[in-house]
Structure 1
Amino acid sequence: MRGTKTAGAGRLLRLVPSRPVPPPPAAPGEVLAEAEGVRVHLGGRPVLDGVDVTVHAGEVLALAGPNGAGKSTLLGTLAADVPAGGGVVRVHGRPVTRWSAPELALRRAVLPQSASLSFPFPVEEVVRMGRAPWAGSDLAAEDDAAVAEAMARTEVTGFAGRPFSALSGGERARVALARVLAQRAPLLLLDEPTAALDLRHQELVLRLCRERARAGDAVVVVLHDLSLAAAYADRIALLRRGRIAADGSPAEVLAEGLLSEVYDQPVEVVPHPRTEALLVVPRREP
Structure 2
Amino acid sequence: MRLRARRDGDPGTIPATAAAVSGLRIGLGGKEVLQSVDLGVRAGEVLSLVGPNGAGKSTLLGALSGDLEPASGEIELWDRPVSAWSAIDVARRRAVLPQSHRVSFPFSVREVVEMGRAPWAGTDRAAEDERRIAAALALTETEAFAARPFTSLSGGEQARVMLARVIAQDAGLVLLDEPTAALDLRHQELVGRLCRELAGEGRAVVIVLHDLDLAAAYSDRCALLAEGRVAASGPPVEVFAADRLSEVYRQPVKVELDAETGVPHVIPLR
Per the normalisation by structure 2, the TM-score is 0.95
Describe the SS at the equivalent of 1:193.
coil
| Per-residue CA distance 1:240-271 (angstroms, 9 max, x = gap) | 00000001011110001111111111101001
**C-alpha separation between the residues in 2 aligned to 1:71 and 1:22?**
24
**Aligned residue runs from structure 1 range 219-238, under 5 A:** 219-238=205-224
How many residues were matched structurally?
A: 264
| Shift, 1:273, TM fit | 3.8
Q: How big is the shift at 1:25?
A: 3.6
Bigger drift between 254-263 and 92-101 goes to 92-101
- CA gap 1:32/1:279 in 2 versus in 1, 3 angstroms: same
Where structure 1 has 5 or more consecutive residues not aligned to the other structure, the ranges are 1-20
What are the within-5 Å matches in structure 2 for residues 29-178 of structure 1?
30-178=16-164
CA distance in 2, matches of 1:29, 1:270: 35
Q: Is the 8 A contact 2:96 2:176 kept in 1?
A: yes
Structure number with larger C-alpha Rg: 1
Distance 1:33 1:26 in 2: 17
For residue 114 of structure 1, what is the amino acid of its counterpart?
A: S
Partner SS, residue 129 of structure 2: helix
Check conservation: 1:29, 1:58, Cα contact below 8 A: no
Residue identity in the other structure for 1:70: G
> 2:34 is aligned with what amino acid?
L
Matched ranges for 1:159-198 at <5 A: 159-198=145-184
In structure 2, give the amino acid aligned to 1:207: R
Aligned equivalents of 1:28 and 1:22: distance in 2?
A: 8
Task: Tell me how far apart the structure 2 counterparts of residues 125 and 148 of structure 1 sit (CA, whole Å).
Answer: 12
The whole-number CA distance in structure 1 between the counterparts of 2:248 and 2:73 is 25
**Residue 27 to residue 267, structure 1, CA distance change in 2 (3 Å):** farther
Match of 2:3 in 1: none
Residue 7 of structure 1: aligned partner: none
User: Matched residues, percent identical?
Assistant: 60
